[in-house]
Structure 1
Amino acid sequence: MEANFELIREQQKESWNAISGGWKKWDTMTMDFLKPMGDEIIRVLEPKNSDLVLDIASGTGEPGLTIATMLTNGSVVITDLADHMVDIARENAINRGIKNVETITCDACELPFADNTFDTVSCRFGFMFFPDMLLAAKEMLRVLKPGGRIATSVWNTSDKNFWVTAIMGSINKNMQMSPAVAGAPGMFRCSEDGFMDDLFKRAGFKNISKTEIYGKLNCGTADMYWAFMNEVAGPVAAALSKADDALKAKIKDEVVDTIMQKYPEKVIAVDSNGLIIYAEK
């Protein structure tokens, strides 16, 4: 892996470990928020009872844990780059009494599995964080059995994801952000029309298809939205960690006002939109 990619990988690992406590705290809300995308991944993958499934960039365990409950004789290997997130996934499996899972800390670009091992691969919102997305896709292809199935989700364009832009718009307006490292991860890195299709084709996948799924971040109040995004959204947490108290308060006021203008008389459920890409080996 190139030196620049190594740097990005280490930054990602550090960032996700740092906010793992927030993901554990807000796990119920986060999993409700991401469930429509996970459900579509499961729908297109059609897990079979005896499948051996690899769930990559699983975070606190989904959709791998849900898939595991659907398998009579199969099992799921749950992986993530951040060991603290893997610890939470393992704890969630124990708390839910799910025994047909294994949790492993590893890099999607260097999967520690033999060729032709898995029947299916799932990866919910992981690709935009991988330093070398093509290498990650090729690794997923390598570990899939012939005819194996893969499904991943990425965020659609920014105009369809107010849950991000409501807060990042104010941050970008009020803070001079450092230029991103070339090839650095980003929320909308994979949103361009045809981007993931082309990536999968170059990796060697076939029978590629795509669906669009809408979701809602059911946060109830503008203040809860602010707290959630501060503790769960990596780019938000990273940016605001560089703001002093006065600037942070100014940004919060703007964000709350933006949210309240869009949802003046409703329980706040902020719009999201993802793309689910399916393919076969």
Structure 2
Amino acid sequence: MAITADSIRDQQRLTWDRFAAGWKKWDAELIAWHRPFGEAVIEDARLRPDSVVLDVAAGSGEPGLTVAALVPGVQVVLADISAGMLQVAEEKAAAQGLGNVRFSVCAAADLPFDDGTFDAVLCRFGFMFFPEMRAALREMVRTVKPGGRVSAAVWGRPAENPWASLVLGTLAHHTELPRPPAGTPGLFRCSAPGFMTRLFKEAGLVEVTERSVSTDLVHSSPDSYWEFMEDIATTMAAGLANADQHARSLIRSDVFQMLGRYEHQGALRLRSTATIVAGTRV
């Protein structure tokens, strides 16, 4: 069967529904780890106290829920292709008593909102996985008001992100992973410096800014890190699925050995770097 944008989205929907339980399990750790990236996306969106905000590829709720909690006058819509992930976000919103949040299960390339609905559109760690990035960005630009901002985060280069590249490099060493066609969804697809700026400018956005933000993924032990990655990292799970039991054992052993270089003051600290890009609709 030919690989199409629709077939990729169908697979992504199933995958993220399956991983929703893992994201719920590690919610506190994920929020702490991703906080600097979410704060940067929010800052560059230039929100007002009465803004109407769309969070695309919101997953389990961030950074949209942070916006809703920080600015009670803001109205926030969380959109994601996965109903399972949005269910986690909805449970979190209810637990926090947030009444200014709505939810929409939809694809980024086909947003069910009128033109110029939102004052800002946020997208943290979604672009890399969109099968049609330019179509998704066109939809974000269409649904934001003139003068409104589109603000996003994508993962930086592999060398700046050992939290993921450590495992992915080891997987590639021990398994016969097919090389994906250029431009297909993947963790580091948007990592080249200037890539997102060009994308935003091509979409007609102005006042485009791009900057890097870094933090550490912190875990108490290799076992904790491995369990975390198995539960939340879809790319790692796909790689392990292609390995037999012997290869999986070797991969785990090699990763644990390499993690030793990231020990600092009794914990593992793995660098994590994202590119934050934002632009204004004319």
TM norm. shorter chain > 0.5? yes
Contact 2:72 2:100 in 1 (8 A): no
User: Normalization by structure 1: what TM-score?
Assistant: 0.96
- Structure 1 unaligned blocks of 5 or more: none
Q: Match of 1:14?
A: 14
Secondary structure of residue in 2 paired with 1:110: coil
After TM superposition, give the deviation of residue 265 of structure 1 in Å: 5.7
Does residue 90 of structure 2 align to residue 94 of structure 1?
no
1:201 and 1:211 map into 2 onto residues whose CA distance is 15
Q: Match of 1:38?
A: 38
Q: 1:121-160 maps to which residues of 2 (within 5 A)?
A: 121-160=121-160
Q: Match of 2:115?
A: 115
Q: 1:256 to 1:172 in 2, by over 3 A?
A: same
Q: Match of 2:74?
A: 74
Secondary structure of residue in 2 paired with 1:60: coil
1:262 and 1:117 map into 2 onto residues whose CA distance is 45
Residue identity in the other structure for 2:218: N
Q: 1:264-279 maps to which residues of 2 (within 5 A)?
A: 266-279=266-279
Q: 1:196-215 maps to which residues of 2 (within 5 A)?
A: 196-215=196-215
Contact 1:219 1:268 in 2 (8 A): yes
1:185-226: CA deviation from partner (whole Å, max 9, x where unpaired): 111100111111111111111110012101111111111111
Contact 1:131 1:185 in 2 (8 A): yes
> Over the residues paired in the alignment, what is the CA RMSD in angstroms?
1.5
After TM superposition, give the deviation of residue 72 of structure 1 in Å: 3.5
Secondary structure of residue in 2 paired with 1:108: coil
- Structure 2 unaligned blocks of 5 or more: none
Secondary structure of residue in 1 paired with 2:4: helix
User: Normalization by structure 2: what TM-score?
Assistant: 0.96
Secondary structure of residue in 1 paired with 2:73: coil
Contact 1:15 1:234 in 2 (8 A): yes
2:265 and 2:44 map into 1 onto residues whose CA distance is 37
Secondary structure of residue in 2 paired with 1:19: helix
Q: Match of 2:23?
A: 23
Secondary structure of residue in 2 paired with 1:204: coil
1:54-107: CA deviation from partner (whole Å, max 9, x where unpaired): 001011100000101233332100011111001101011001111100011110
1:202 and 1:264 map into 2 onto residues whose CA distance is 43
Which range moves more in the overlay, 145-154 or 3-12?
Answer: 3-12
Q: Match of 1:238?
A: 238
Contact 1:8 1:184 in 2 (8 A): no
1:92 and 1:249 map into 2 onto residues whose CA distance is 36
After TM superposition, give the deviation of residue 241 of structure 1 in Å: 2.2
1:115-171: CA deviation from partner (whole Å, max 9, x where unpaired): 010000110000001011011111000000110111100111111000011111111
Q: Match of 2:195?
A: 195
2:145 and 2:40 map into 1 onto residues whose CA distance is 22
Q: Match of 2:255?
A: 255
After TM superposition, give the deviation of residue 266 of structure 1 in Å: 3.4
Residue identity in the other structure for 1:217: L
After TM superposition, give the deviation of residue 3 of structure 1 in Å: 6.5
Q: 1:151 to 1:264 in 2, by over 3 A?
A: closer
The share of aligned pairs that are identical, in percent, is: 36
Contact 1:24 1:88 in 2 (8 A): yes
2:250 and 2:87 map into 1 onto residues whose CA distance is 36
Contact 2:262 2:269 in 1 (8 A): no
After TM superposition, give the deviation of residue 243 of structure 1 in Å: 2.3
